[in-house]
Amino acid sequence: MITVARMASVLRKVFEDDARVLARQMGVIKRERKLNGSTLLLLFVLGWLHQPKAGSSALARFAGTLGVTISKQGIEEHWTFASAEWLYEVLLRAVQSLISAKTVAIPLLQRFAGVYIEDGSSIRLPDSLERYWRGCRGGNGQQSRTKAGVKLTMRLELKQGTLQGPLLQDGRSHESRSFLQEQPIVKGALWMADLGYFARVAPSADEPSRRVLSDAVEGWGGDLVGKQASGCPSGPASACRGRGAGV
């Protein structure tokens, strides 16, 4: 469970320590003069929370509330691919530190070497970002504000409470092509996802005996279906027929 005290502790470490170290390691901040990794992160996060469409001029004015004097040109120097990668690494640190789950004590699930739940979500981006993150482009390929998008996928292991992701890919990419599919799952584990993952999913070369627990997934009332890695103890397919709330 995420308490206010735990969230405050984690975010303080991420903003004050991790962001600063990562900024130096990734070359975002070469010399700590007006800005360091901590103040730059605060400027971006709080500035855009305050005004989501703020440009460099608005952010430069907002920097004054943080005790930082910087020009809009100084801020624009940090609008680089390196800064984007740095922000993503900071996001991973924050999410993976905050999101955890208690180990489950359901006897049926204890029979598996691991219990994974995987899902994804899409975010629409401005059309100008199409060259970096391709969206679905709408039904006729010309609909505005759908040319660019990003898809985030995550995988939670319930028995250990560990999280993989969020990993980013083009918004138009199918769930079954998530980069998480390249991450190994322990032998004898149960993997659960919604039906979108099963529309095109196929067994990988190193897991020829991975199998779907039921042949009638489309007839299920729920959204989650399961796949079982080779060597996993057999069990009733109904174990995975939940709507997600009870899993």
Per-residue pLDDT at 36 exceeds 60 = yes
Phi, psi torsion values for 138, nearest 5 degrees:
75, 175
Residue 171's pLDDT is what? 86
Q: Are 42 and 116 within one domain?
A: no
pLDDT at 210 over 50: no
Same domain, 160 and 208: yes
Whether residue 235 contacts residue 106, with contact meaning beta carbons closer than 8 Å, is answered with no
* Domain count along the chain: 2
120 and 200 within one domain? yes
Is residue 45 domain-shared with residue 84, that is, in the same domain? Answer: yes
Contacts of 25 (CB under 8 A, 6+ apart): none
Residues 204 and 235 in one domain: yes
Predicted local distance difference test score (pLDDT) of residue 163: 81
**Is the pLDDT assigned to residue 16 strictly greater than 60?**
yes
Coil, strand or helix at 46: helix
Note the pLDDT of residue 208: 36
Q: Which of 224, 241, 89 is nearest to 156 (CA)?
A: 224
Both 122 and 220 in a single domain? yes
pTM for the whole thing? 0.67
The residue segments making up the domain with residue 164 are 109-126+152-240
Q: What is the pLDDT of residue 25?
A: 93
**Radius of gyration (Cα) for the chain, nearest Å?**
22
CA distance 226 to 240: 6
Residues 75 and 113 both lie in one domain: no
Domain annotation covers residue 135: no
